[in-house]
């Protein structure tokens, strides 16, 4: 059985954009494929400590997994939750792959360039974390790794490292993940979707945006989120239609309305066609978002921490089993045993 692998970032709370654009599509993908694939959902806590963590890492990771369940993930025996730091093979394989990756290729990583730019001191983890990511993937022969565009380059690096090792030993030691174009096809939903900043709808909503009114956090009080929608920037055309170029604010509201209610965008556009009162649309979207958040937050409150730890412990038994087996073969090839 093949493996789909995804890491969940636990450094901070997701925005409505992260939720609708990344989390929900991943949950759908997992539910859709969990009978014919292993679904590895891991917490890359070793990656987390490369940069600042908002709050407490342990609390965040429990909450992040609850978010997956509240978003509708229905785990079966093929869905595995685990913490990267509880599977030591990740760190060990990373070291081995460090001897395969070159300084040149790591220096070319855009993420590294962006994250180190202008800084006088940069921790070495920022430079080498793509190698850890390669280990995360290759230990499980994971062919599908749904990631955002910003990670495509790292996925290509993973493929290159896998093929380099395979060539060196003339065996199929590693299964390289499929090419990014094929990953995108497999993932279909969510790729092009960008929820916009509520105040500056020309930009996408981002959690790092300073202005609180620009973004809705999944932990926002539902009332507060509704107010943010009510104060969203629109335009003066007095026409409710989907036109991201000329009316990004209104288009964004239509988009949110569709996604939050699980309706097709086309249906929502038709419902509002010919309408002119932006206040009415805002009120409807505000109420939809409020209801969604109430429901989501209630679900989270009902999941005990113990449930998450049970999933993690089960998943870690599975992950250690698979990862150690792969690591043993790799160590043998490298003459380490
Ligand atoms: P930051 O401001 O720190 O970059 P972010 O909100 O852009 O935060 P990321 O951590 O960069 O979030 O991305 C997490 C995931 O959410 C990625 O898969 C990304 O494609 C997706 N995503 C981010 N912003 C949006 C958005 N506005 N709409 C839809 N998906 C989004
Ligand atoms: Mg981002």
Residue 2: active-site member = no
State the Cα angle at 182 between 176 and 184, rounded to 5°: 115
pTM recorded for the entire structure:
0.92
Q: Rounded mean pLDDT of 89-96? A: 98
Residue 147: band (very low, low, confident or very high) from pLDDT cuts 50, 70, 90: confident
Judge whether 144 and 4 are in contact, CB under 8 Å.
yes
Residue 66: active-site member = no
Least confident of 12-21, 54-63, 132-141, 178-187: 178-187
The CA distance from 196 to 300, in Å, is 25
Q: What is the architecture, at CATH level 2, of domain 2-192+304-333?
A: 3-Layer(aba) Sandwich (3.40)
Judge whether 146 and 182 are in contact, CB under 8 Å.
no
DSSP state of 218: T
- What local confidence, expressed as pLDDT, does residue 186 receive? 84
For ligand 1, whether the C-beta of 21 sits within 6 Å is: yes
For ligand 1, whether the C-beta of 218 sits within 6 Å is: no
Domain covering 212-300, topology: Tyrosyl-Transfer RNA Synthetase (1.10.240)
The CA distance from 11 to 46, in Å, is 11
C-alpha of residue 205 to centroid of ligand 2, in Å: 9
Query: For tokens 């450094």, what's the residue?
Result: 11
Residue 214: band (very low, low, confident or very high) from pLDDT cuts 50, 70, 90: very high
- What local confidence, expressed as pLDDT, does residue 188 receive? 65
pLDDT at 190 over 70: no
Nearest to 133 by CA among 99, 158, 101, 107: 158
The CA distance from 53 to 57, in Å, is 7
3 state SS of 188: coil
Query: For tokens 């990267």, what's the residue?
Result: 84
The CA distance from 283 to 255, in Å, is 15
Nearest to 3 by CA among 184, 188, 177: 177
pLDDT at 192 over 80: no
Q: Rounded mean pLDDT of 223-227? A: 98
Least confident of 7-16, 171-180, 196-205, 261-270: 7-16
- What local confidence, expressed as pLDDT, does residue 171 receive? 95
Residue 204: active-site member = yes
Q: Rounded mean pLDDT of 225-246? A: 97
pLDDT at 75 over 70: yes
What are the residue boundaries of the structural domains of the chain, listed by start? 2-192+304-333, 212-300
The CA distance from 290 to 211, in Å, is 20
pLDDT tens digits for 297-315?
999 999 999 999 999 999 9
Same fold? 2-192+304-333, 212-300: no
For the chain, percent of residues with pLDDT exceeding 70: 99
- Which one of the ligands is nearest to 26 CA? 1
C-alpha of residue 316 to centroid of ligand 1, in Å: 28
pLDDT tens digits for 95-139?
999 999 999 999 999 999 999 999 999 999 999 999 999 999 999
- What local confidence, expressed as pLDDT, does residue 133 receive? 98
Please choose from 10, 22, 191 the residue to mutate so as to test ligand 1's pocket, defined by most ligand atoms within 8 A of CB: 22
pLDDT tens digits for 20-62?
998 998 999 999 999 999 999 999 999 999 998 889 999 999 9
pLDDT at 2 over 60: yes
- The residue whose C-alpha atom lies closest to atom 3 belonging to ligand 1 is 208
For ligand 1, whether the C-beta of 208 sits within 6 Å is: yes
User: What does each C-alpha distance from 128 to 40, 108, 133, 206, 327 come to in angstroms?
Assistant: 23, 12, 9, 25, 19
């Amino acid at each position: 059985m093949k493996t789909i692998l995804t890491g969940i970032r636990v450094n901070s709370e997701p925005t409505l954009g992260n939720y609708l654009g990344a989390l929900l599509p991943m949950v759908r993908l997992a539910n859709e494929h969990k009978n014919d694939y292993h679904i590895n959902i891991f917490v890359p806590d070793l990656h987390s400590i490369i940069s600042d963590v908002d709050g407490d890492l342990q609390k965040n990771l429990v909450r992040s997994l609850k978010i997956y369940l509240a978003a509708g993930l229905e785990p079966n025996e093929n869905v595995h939750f685990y913490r990267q730091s509880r599977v030591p093979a990740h760190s060990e394989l990373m070291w081995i792959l460090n001897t395969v990756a070159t300084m040149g290729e790591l220096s070319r990583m855009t993420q590294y360039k962006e994250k180190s730019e202008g800084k006088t001191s940069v921790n070495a983890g920022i430079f080498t974390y793509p190698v850890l990511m390669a280990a995360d993937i290759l230990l499980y022969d994971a062919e599908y790794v749904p990631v955002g565009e910003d990670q495509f380059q790292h996925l290509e690096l993973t493929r290159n490292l896998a093929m380099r090792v395979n060539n060196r030993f003339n065996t199929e030691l590693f299964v390289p993940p499929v090419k990014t174009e094929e990953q995108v096809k497999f993932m279909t939903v969510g790729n092009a979707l960008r929820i916009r900043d509520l105040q500056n709808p020309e930009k996408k909503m981002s959690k790092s945006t300073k202005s609180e009114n620009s973004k809705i956090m999944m932990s926002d009080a539902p009332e507060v989120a509704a107010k943010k929608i009510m104060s969203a920037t629109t335009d003066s055309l007095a026409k409710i239609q989907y036109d991201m170029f000329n009316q990004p604010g209104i288009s964004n509201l239509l988009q949110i309305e569709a996604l939050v209610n699980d309706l097709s965008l086309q249906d929502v556009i038709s419902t509002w066609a010919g309408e002119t009162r932006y206040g009415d649309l805002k009120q409807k979207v505000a109420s939809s978002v409020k209801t969604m958040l109430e429901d989501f937050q209630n679900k989270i409150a009902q999941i005990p921490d113990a449930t998450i730890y049970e999933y993690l412990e089960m998943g870690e038994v599975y992950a250690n089993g698979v990862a150690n087996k792969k690591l043993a073969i790799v160590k043998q090839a490298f003459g380490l045993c």
